[in-house]
């Protein structure tokens, strides 16, 4: 490549980045107040409600519910009366039902509903959430190809929402309202899958969240068709629970950190 061409390439990239930043600015400016305050991001998933005060009542989980734990608990507590199916008969859970109620609704049923009241005493709050997420996961689990969706989310959504969904993408500083934090229980657990699908498809008026229905990603050669937008909703949902894979990955990270510490210590001893 000649020098001239290289310089032109660099200029193109710089202009593109500046355009993105400028658009971010304009969007915030349009919303009357230019709020450049840093968004308070939770560095970890903290319980949103005091555990003691609300032990018996509705409250969000303390950490990501585990579908692995949930599976066992479901077998022990629910499978005598419930199973999974495609038609709503004989207390079968269906995909249609799961898509149309917010996750919090399922929790409320097994906490306050007459027929299920006993679970409030029998199971801890975290265990009830484990079951809820297992039921949801069984019918509306991960995207078919998680890695593929991750890459596409990375190049289209992460600029605002962050790769881990914490609303900490590079331009989040300029957005008011800030991007949605997909790890925030009190937000995502109160929305149905249908609602999230609608927001991904049609965008959210007066915010930076654009509509995606029918868009084409020219770099990666794919379209945001209906099927892919549902895959995105599944992908967003997985920030709100943990699977066996997540648990294994956490363990690996921990072990890697520990062995590095050990290495450092032996280095020091020498």
Contact footprint for ligand HEC (CB under 6 A): 77-78, 80-82, 91, 106, 109-110, 115-116, 119, 131, 135, 156-157, 159-161, 175, 177, 179-180, 187-188, 191, 196, 199-200, 204, 207-209, 212, 232, 236
**Counting beta carbons within 10 angstroms of the beta carbon of residue 135, is it exposed (0 to 12), middle (13 to 18) or buried (19 or more)?**
buried
> Whole-number minimum distance, CB 51 to ligand HEC, in Å?
21
> Whole-number minimum distance, CB 32 to ligand HEC, in Å?
15
> Whole-number minimum distance, CB 102 to ligand HEC, in Å?
11
> Whole-number minimum distance, CB 151 to ligand HEC, in Å?
12
**Structure tokens of 145?**
């190809």
**Structure tokens of 29?**
């400016």
Nearer to ligand HEC, 226 or 263 (CB): 226
The whole-angstrom separation of Cα 200 and Cα 65 is: 24
Q: Which residues contact 51 (CB under 8 A, 6 or more apart)?
A: 59, 62, 125
Nearer to ligand HEC, 222 or 254 (CB): 222
Nearer to ligand HEC, 67 or 157 (CB): 157
Sign of CA dihedral 86, 234, 102, 65: positive
**Counting beta carbons within 10 angstroms of the beta carbon of residue 70, is it exposed (0 to 12), middle (13 to 18) or buried (19 or more)?**
buried
Nearer to ligand HEC, 156 or 238 (CB): 156
């Amino acid at each position: 490549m000649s020098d001239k061409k290289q310089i032109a390439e660099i200029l193109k990239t710089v202009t593109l980045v500046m355009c993105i930043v400028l658009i971010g600015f304009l969007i915030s400016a349009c919303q009357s107040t230019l709020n450049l305050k840093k968004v308070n991001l939770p560095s970890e998933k903290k319980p949103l409600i005091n555990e003691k005060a609300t032990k018996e009542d509705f409250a969000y989980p303390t950490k990501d519910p585990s579908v692995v734990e949930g599976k066992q608990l479901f077998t022990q507590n629910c499978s005598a009366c419930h199973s999974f199916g495609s038609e709503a008969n004989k207390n079968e859970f269906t995909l249609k039902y799961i898509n149309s109620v917010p996750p919090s609704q399922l929790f409320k049923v097994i906490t306050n509903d007459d027929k299920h009241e006993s679970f409030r005493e029998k199971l801890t709050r975290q265990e009830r959430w484990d079951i809820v997420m297992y039921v949801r996961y069984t019918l509306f689990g991960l995207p078919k190809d998680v890695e593929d969706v991750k890459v596409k989310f990375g190049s289209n959504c992460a600029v605002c929402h962050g790769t881990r969904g914490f609303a900490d993408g590079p331009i989040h500083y300029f957005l008011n309202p800030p991007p949605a934090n997909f790890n925030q229980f009190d937000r995502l657990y109160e929305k149905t899958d249908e609602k999230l699908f609608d927001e991904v498809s049609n965008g959210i008026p007066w915010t930076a969240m654009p509509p995606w229905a029918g868009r084409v990603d020219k770099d990666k050669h794919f379209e945001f068709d209906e099927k892919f937008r549902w895959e995105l909703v599944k992908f967003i949902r997985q920030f709100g629970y943990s699977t066996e894979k997540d648990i294994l990955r956490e363990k690996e990270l921990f072990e890697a950190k520990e062995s590095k510490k050990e290495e450092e210590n032996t280095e020091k001893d020498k």
